[in-house]
Amino acid sequence: MTPFGEKIRQLRAEKGINQKQMAHDLDISPAYLSALEHGHRGRPTWALVQKVISYFNLIWDDAEEIEDLARQSHPRVMVDTSGLSPQAVTMVNQLARNIRCLSPDDIAGISTLIDKKTDR
């Protein structure tokens, strides 16, 4: 599941809306919405993200969160390592090969380290 899909599922549950109804209201197929939620489709389009924001009547911070989650939700990520050190290239490849072996705590720790280094 992608961060965007997880958030959509959470919002639907809070509002008591099933997937079929939301898909109908957004004029997309239930299969497409399911695939988005489960990360079997690429990042949603800007237009669809705006429809979701409008659908749930999200404002300011909540709308920005949805947009940010959509940007982070591509299920297959490519990393341009040109110009990076050999150690950085090795680390990126090692992470790609082994990400499924990491626990949620491991991932949170790596994310925290990256956030500190990038002033997030």
CATH of the domain at 47: 1.10.260.40
8 occurs within a structural domain? yes
The pLDDT tens digits for 36-68 are 988 888 889 999 999 999 999 999 999 999 999
Rounded CA-CA distance 43/78 in Å is 13
Residue 67 belongs to what domain range? Answer: 3-71
Q: How confident is the model at residue 120 (pLDDT cuts 50, 70, 90)?
A: low
pTM of the entire predicted model:
0.70
Three-state secondary structure call for residue 44:
coil
How high is the mean pLDDT of the chain?
92
Q: How many domains does the chain have?
A: 2
Q: What pLDDT score was predicted for residue 43?
A: 86
Q: Are residues 94 and 67 in the same domain?
A: no
Same domain? 35 vs 92? no
At residue 80, φ and ψ (nearest 5 deg) are: -85, 110
d(CA 90, CA 96): 10
Predicted local distance difference test score (pLDDT) of residue 41 = 85
The answer to whether residue 10 scores a pLDDT higher than 90 is yes
In a domain, 80, yes or no: no
Say how many C-beta atoms besides its own lie within 10 A of residue 105's C-beta: 8
